[in-house]
Amino acid sequence: MKKPVIGITMGDASGVGPEIIIKALSHSSIYEICTPIVIGDFKLLVRAVQLTESRAELHRIADVKESRSQYGIIDCLDIDLLPHDLPIGAVSSEAGNAAFHFLKKAVNLAQNGDIQAICTAPLNKEALHKGGHIYPGHTEILADLTGTKDYSMMLSSPNLKVIHLTTHQGLLEAIQSITPERTYKVIKLAHKTLTSAGMENPKIAVCGINPHAGENGLFGNREEEKQLIPGIEKAALEGIEVTGPYPADTLFFRAVRGDFDIVIACYHDQGHVPIKVLGLDEGVNITLGLNGNIIRTSVDHGTAFDIAGKNLADERSMIEAIRAAANLSPK
């Protein structure tokens, strides 16, 4: 079987992105499952090789077809936008602008079928905005570049998978934006994603919005009955094994125990906190529902400016993100 080509975007080059990419690609197991190609600035990758004392050879390419796909050689599609002395660990408009263009190039390659998935190193929102690109994060950029309206964020760790009804919104706005149709669509997306990955009849559980899932109207204004349950029932009628809403304070424990294959969280922190408590180093962020069936995975941590350039960054989340991209790629 032909190995998928994974485009790995450098993210904000002032952060830990370049060094975790170099460290991740020092693992031969990555090359056994995919052909990784770094989409970024070649000279900043050279700096990361020196920083990490990597023995890898860097190979600058202008086209995906020039990739050598060989362990020990790191292919870099050079998007030459940054100065060689870009400050490390600082917010930079240049780095923010470059991070956007690295991602834009990856989307173009995915749309043309030149790569089978995108894996992103972290960007910095302040730098992104200073660079002239006003987005909350990667997910919203990808949705805009692909013309996608209905998408969702999934977080995955070895013991827990979570998909979100809402993400980068204030809490009041997020709750108000949940509708039965949105609930139904995200349930369908979760089911499709897991079955496409080879899981038969996945068990899906939905979190409640209020404490104790409203406890029959005792808490809140019956948001569960109005905004969640109709969508759950509609999906269940189609044969999807989905139940809830359940109290969030016990649901994640039950999912980790193995009662459910994936949890649907209602808002950002409800889903992010349990994943990150389980371990930042193994979490993967996955964007689902992009037009063109584009696969995108990411590390589940930020640019870590405080340790950037010190060779302290842990590459495990990047390794898991690359593996997830390869596993979810079209076969």
Note the pLDDT tens digit of each residue in 176-203.
999 999 999 999 999 988 887 778 899 9
- Judged against a pLDDT cut of 90, whether residue 111 lies above it is answered with yes
Range 59-80 average pLDDT? 95
Within a domain: 280: no
**How far is Cα 164 from Cα 175, in angstroms, rounded to an integer?**
12
Same domain, 160 and 97: no
- Judged against a pLDDT cut of 80, whether residue 326 lies above it is answered with yes
Within a domain: 279: no
| 9 phi/psi in degrees, rounded to 5 | -80, 140
Same domain, 35 and 76: yes
**Residue 118 neighbours by CB under 8 Å, 6+ apart:** 6, 7, 9, 103, 106, 107, 110, 142, 294, 295, 296, 297, 325
Within a domain: 284: no
What local confidence, expressed as pLDDT, does residue 280 receive?
65
What's the number of domains the chain is made of? 2
Within a domain: 85: yes
Same domain, 316 and 262: no
What local confidence, expressed as pLDDT, does residue 177 receive?
95
- Judged against a pLDDT cut of 80, whether residue 330 lies above it is answered with no
Within a domain: 181: yes
Range 87-112 average pLDDT? 97
Confidence of residue 75 (pLDDT cuts 50, 70, 90): very high
Give Cα 137 to chain centroid, integer Å.
11
Same domain, 182 and 123: no
Same domain, 84 and 159: no
Within a domain: 197: yes
Same domain, 227 and 259: yes
CATH code assigned at 201 = 3.40.718.10
What local confidence, expressed as pLDDT, does residue 167 receive?
86
Same domain, 320 and 250: no
Same domain, 15 and 89: yes
Confidence of residue 7 (pLDDT cuts 50, 70, 90): very high
Within a domain: 283: no
What local confidence, expressed as pLDDT, does residue 136 receive?
86
Is the pTM of the predicted complex or chain greater than 0.95? no
- Judged against a pLDDT cut of 80, whether residue 87 lies above it is answered with yes
The parent domain of residue 101 ranges over: 5-148+289-328
Q: Kindly tell me the burial class for residue 40, based on how many C-beta atoms sit within 10 Å of its own C-beta (0-12, 13-18, 19 or more).
A: buried
Within a domain: 110: yes
Cβ(97)–Cβ(82) below 8 Å: no
Cβ(31)–Cβ(69) below 8 Å: yes
Same domain, 13 and 122: yes
Helix 248-257, helix 268-278: angle, nearest 10? 40
Same domain, 67 and 102: yes
- Asked if the peptide bond before residue 245 counts as cis, ω within 30 degrees of 0, the response is yes
pLDDT digits (tens, 9 = 90+) for 263-315: 999 999 999 999 888 876 677 889 988 988 899 999 978 999 999 999 999 99
Range 120-147 average pLDDT? 94
Same domain, 74 and 160: no
Same domain, 17 and 139: yes
